Amino acid sequence: MKLTLTLFLVVTVCHVILVEGCTFKCSLIEDILAMMFKSKASDNCSHPKPKEIPAFSASMTNAKVLGATEILKFDKVWTNNGDDYDPKTGIFKAPFKGVYQFSFTVMSSNGKNLLVYLWQNETRLVSVYPGIGFNEGTANMVLNLKKDDRVYVKCGGSGHGYIYTAKDYWYSMFSGYLIHATK
């Protein structure tokens, strides 16, 4: 649309200069430039600027037995643009209303069960059950979030909470990012 408008304006200016003469040239160009700048200034886009786009990726550093409803804390932060993921709580808090993508991978330990869920606020969404014995499970979700919505990974109940990881291997991780903001 903007390219079409720009081409139209260029053709109009050339026509005025060639056909109408130069008397209106300065005034017309000034009007066109003013219109273009006004259009640019009135663009009420609420999308975040690239430096503000939230994105995070974090891994778990230690294997552990989880409480029945414990939120997993992925404490080795690789990326945390905007600081919207809190490694102390394991919770991502949406800074903008928009469409977000999340993924998490968890690994069970040999002879131990693991069942975890992705949560949005107080709503349980999807589960991962890698079962028993050094198995991994992964889930990916695209979610519509409101500002301040919380997303986290939580243990699925008693007897299902042994998560495995090994230092420098980072088997269990949690990531998310804003795809685009919405109004």
Residue length of the chain: 183
Residue spans of the domains in the chain: they are 2-41, 51-181
Give, as one character, the DSSP assignment of residue 101. E
Q: Between 113 and 57, where is the model more confident?
A: 57
Question: Distance (Å, rounded) from C-alpha 84 to C-alpha 122?
Answer: 18
Give the pLDDT of residue 110: 87
Digit-coded pLDDT (tens) for 127-146: 999 988 899 999 999 999 99
Phi, psi for residue 134 in degrees, rounded to 5:
50, 45
Digit-coded pLDDT (tens) for 97-107: 999 999 999 99
Question: Distance (Å, rounded) from C-alpha 111 to C-alpha 145?
Answer: 37
83 pLDDT band (50/70/90 cuts)? very high
Give the pLDDT of residue 7: 47
The CATH number of domain 51-181 is 2.60.120.40? yes
CB 72 within 8 A of CB 66: yes
What pTM, to 2 d.p., does this model score? 0.73
**Helix, strand, coil percent content, the chain, rounded in steps of 5:** 20, 40, 40
